[in-house]
Structure 1
């Protein structure tokens, strides 16, 4: 069956509970993790706990059907599975006749899974009953299988919480006390990624030890069994053999595993390389520069002049290049960090990326204004933006016209020059396999 980890709001402890459960289960068998929404960083922690790629379940970026198929496909063969939700349980966006589209509750309904509700109890006692009662009754289609009480202060505090919940007959499946040992540092875009944490192994062991004694495993284990539902295998009717360089290191690590799987299924050989440490580009026919934190490692990127020169030369030679967000920033002429320091970047785009306090966040409908290695002019896709930088000057011939779900403001953004596609928009290719196929076809022709 398995469960979806939900909460009444953001910051209640979903990620801590999820990681503790994953770390403990992974000691005894294979466990597949999923994350609701477009997030990259939480899935990195899931993968670090399970040694398996975490899969994003996002019906805005893909579709409701794809969410169901992805879940069934990747649960297959795993002993346990777990889905971490996003924000509060019913926090979504109104689309069509679904008022909470893409919320944790929406995905729980799509997958027909119960919810394990995490509650931050540090400022609660008897009122917890009203909260749990409301979540249990708000949508009869969403079943609350139990609760996890997080940040419980004392035995007396737990006694008060338990007494309040007893009449509801909702089982308490976990109790976590306040514990600074399991705190994960964060910064301007959320948690610090796993590649930058020196104490990751220690954190995993601590979470596993915590889970061993803080959860009711007799009730939880049957709930967490991975469903073995029938699913269609993913096959590609046309293949485009090409070597594609994947920029992956501490500065660039925002990739949806499904995107990389699609490239491989279409015939690509994926070659990982590091813009931080490589002196030159690998022997490839195309490049995929994902998002990440070039602003944090700007000094190291600027110091690697030989690599920057090679990358600029590859773009001048019309090698197909696909760059998202952090990759886009790296291709700019300069990057101005949060301290106002200016760093030289690749220089393939006549723009400067400047870090700022304002967070640009949300789903975007992107309409292609011209052909690129992935898009045909006029095609539409849904993507996601998540950054604290701005680019200037604006492109003379923008790649996309974008619009948010609720906003009427149209934004022109993105760069397209010859075989280069560079944009702030993160794309999930799950339902758009023609996009990576076009990219690989360009790579194959360039190599020939």
Structure 2
């Protein structure tokens, strides 16, 4: 058994400040010399960049469906044995969706830290905190942190509205970045990644400094023991070396940044040697047996990608030789013939898949998905603002979690020779055998 203080930051809805608070907590305690390990609930590629920068350690996903309860238990146990504090950022609202953040908190006994945007609120904070605390009997509870508070008087009004004063963990002011914009800025797929902002660490320090003035931020190692949780050991499932002796090339840069570290670990556990390369840096395709093009932001870098003519030739030669390609979301987009951008421009892409990508302002796909292959079922998700119109053959489709494949629900999986591509993002560990089949 490993015992370690742990908190889940949750809220009544998205947009309350969970990411900022989680990153601030991680930065504050890492600065004080504590070993902090951060997890993110649900599928998310962007928030973890901030948490990794704040904590100085890799960030992992927890999802009772996508990654599985046993996987969650194993990751928490391992982290608790190597950390002084575990932080878990929730997703959406505390009770939203099947296998909610509340389900995760209850299953592992992790106390819930409720973050509430109180900018336009007074005593109603008490009702929200009471509801979150008592809606599910027995839910582990830490307290409430008010976010975007106008000042000391506002904070007192909020605190006075609580039924139980012990729930009060403090108030954060409205935090802004340079020029008065959001401290953690966003674009169409979520937060701007931390490594894209030269002052990212200064932004985290500002959040940590503000948190240090709250009762929560003033807790030392002894005070944090009130949030200590016992995590039980879990057996690890063996992964067969189905990719032994094979080299898998992986595109990795700002255009192809949506890579779960766990997916890389699964490929390695399967026996693959990984060869990373950067299309944006003008690099050619490494010598390899198979290729993975992950998701990311090809729409932001379309001109530079198209300018890498050498790589384009390599990709065509790779496909012509019958070598496997698995392209996810942005990786698939980069393989299209052209992309139409919101500003009216039409730009060429690599042209391995016939068809046109259209980038749009509204969301085109969102939610958990599963892909059934002969070797097993891969769990994962979809999240994109573009559509792909292609005459390429559709080999199959993904389905919503626990449902059968239907023509109008889920994402197309295109199959053209040795190339497979889809908007679907796969969690490789959910079926190592099915994952291996994508690269064989």
Alignment of 1:1-400 (within 5 A): 1-27=5-31, 28-92=33-97, 101-165=98-162, 167-181=163-177, 183-214=183-214, 215-218=217-220, 221-223=224-226, 229-233=232-236, 235-238=238-241, 240-368=244-372, 375-376=373-374, 380-400=377-397
Q: Output the TM-score relative to the length of structure 2.
A: 0.90
Q: Output the TM-score relative to the length of structure 1.
A: 0.88
Give the distance between the partners of 1:381 and 1:436, measured in 2 at CA. Answer: 7
Q: CA deviation at 1:284?
A: 2.2
Q: CA deviation at 1:103?
A: 1.6
Aligned partner of 2:427 in structure 1 is 428
Q: CA deviation at 1:238?
A: 2.9
CA RMSD of aligned residues (A): 2.4
Whether the 8 Å CA contact 1:366–1:380 is kept in 2: the answer is yes
Q: CA deviation at 1:359?
A: 0.5
Aligned partner of 1:98 in structure 2 is none
- Cα deviation 1:295-335 (Å, max 9, x = unaligned): 01112112222222212221221222111100000111112
- Cα deviation 1:214-271 (Å, max 9, x = unaligned): 3231476325667554233464343513222221111111111111111112222222
| Stretches of structure 1 lacking an aligned partner (at least 5 in a row) | 93-100, 369-374, 443-448
Q: CA deviation at 1:170?
A: 3.3
Work out the number of aligned pairs and report it. 425
Whether the 8 Å CA contact 1:61–1:427 is kept in 2: the answer is no
Change (3 A) 1:173 1:216: farther
2:92 counterpart SS class: coil
2:268 counterpart SS class: helix
Q: CA deviation at 1:281?
A: 1.1
Change (3 A) 1:30 1:228: farther
Give the distance between the partners of 1:164 and 1:406, measured in 2 at CA. Answer: 44
Whether the 8 Å CA contact 1:399–1:414 is kept in 2: the answer is yes
Q: CA deviation at 1:90?
A: 0.7
Q: CA deviation at 1:140?
A: 1.0
2:360 counterpart SS class: strand
1:209 counterpart SS class: helix
Whether the 8 Å CA contact 1:403–1:410 is kept in 2: the answer is yes
Whether the 8 Å CA contact 2:142–2:227 is kept in 1: the answer is no
Q: CA deviation at 1:360?
A: 2.5
